[in-house]
């Protein structure tokens, strides 16, 4: 795909332009892939009239590639406070990014922090842990982010003979034609981020 920067000045100028699109925590330095994604976002902001307004304020805090059945998917992490802005353009943004990344699947997830439990030693934390910061709540939120804008209509935990668990997530069947091709990607990304095995499917409609 073509960047807005001239070839000779690509490394220096594009890095500067992309810097506004990736803001790592604690001043950490973005890796080459994250800069590549940031450049794509900056390029879209410059070239796409219908995405420009929202992309102007949107940036990512991280990006990574995840292996999915012999191919790679791109995972973008956005600040939680910008999730609503992202949702306004998510379908179009994902579609355009997948074109830029040669058909690789793209998913967008909000950056959330898990807060540890109160210490068993009896020491109390400065304030009670919000439910949204628990491990369970954050993992549930990742599920919602992964499939957005498709709605989760059911969940079922299957216990195997060896004691392991498989979480089944049922998605709105009305969206099957839009997201069926991404079900394996959702499962691989979720396992990469949480270590939990999950399968995504559509309930059988009688």
Could you give the CA distance from residue 132 to residue 33 in angstroms, rounded to a whole number?
A: 30
Paired tokens of 167:
């979480």
pLDDT for residue 39: 95
Q: Rg of the Cα trace of the chain?
A: 19
pLDDT in tens, 35-59: 999 999 999 999 999 999 999 999 9
pLDDT at 1 > cutoff 70 = no
Q: The whole model's pTM is what?
A: 0.84
pLDDT for residue 8: 47
Paired tokens of 13:
């100028």
Phi-psi label, residue 199: left if phi above 0, alpha if psi -120 to 50, beta otherwise: beta
Percent of the chain with pLDDT over 70: 83
Name the average pLDDT for the chain.
87
What secondary structure does DSSP assign to the chain, as a single string? ---SS-GGGIIIIIHHHHHTTB--GGGPPPPHHHHHHHHHHHHHHHH-TTTHHHHHH--BSEEEEEEETTEEEEEEEEEGGGHHHHHHHHHHHHHHHHHHTTT--EEEEEE--PPPPPPTTSPPPSSPPPGGGSHHHHHHHHHHHHHTTSPEEEEEEEE-TTS-EEEEEEE-GGGHHHHGGGHHHHHHHHHHHHS--EEEE-PPP-
pLDDT for residue 120: 58
φ and ψ at residue 204, rounded to 5 degrees = -75, 125
Phi-psi label, residue 69: left if phi above 0, alpha if psi -120 to 50, beta otherwise: left
């Amino acid at each position: 795909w073509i960047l807005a920067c001239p070839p000779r000045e690509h490394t220096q100028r594009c890095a500067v332009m992309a810097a506004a699109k990736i803001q790592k925590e604690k001043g950490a330095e973005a890796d080459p892939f994250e800069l590549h994604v940031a450049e794509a976002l900056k390029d879209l902001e410059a070239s796409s009239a219908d995405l420009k307004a929202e992309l102007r304020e949107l940036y990512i805090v991280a990006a990574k590639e995840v292996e999915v059945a012999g191919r790679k998917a791109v995972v973008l992490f956005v600040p939680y406070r910008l999730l609503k802005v992202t949702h306004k353009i998510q379908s179009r943004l994902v579609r355009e990014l997948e074109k830029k990344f040669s058909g690789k699947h793209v998913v967008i997830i909000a950056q959330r922090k898990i807060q540890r439990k109160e210490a068993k030693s009896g020491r109390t934390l400065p304030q009670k842990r919000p439910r949204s910061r628990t491990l369970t709540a954050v993992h549930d939120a990742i599920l919602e982010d992964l499939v957005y804008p498709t709605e989760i209509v059911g969940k079922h935990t299957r216990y195997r003979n060896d004691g392991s668990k498989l979480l089944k997530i049922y998605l709105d069947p009305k969206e099957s034609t839009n997201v069926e091709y991404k079900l394996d990607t959702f499962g691989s990304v979720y396992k990469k981020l949480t270590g939990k095995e999950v399968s995504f499917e559509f309930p059988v409609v009688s």
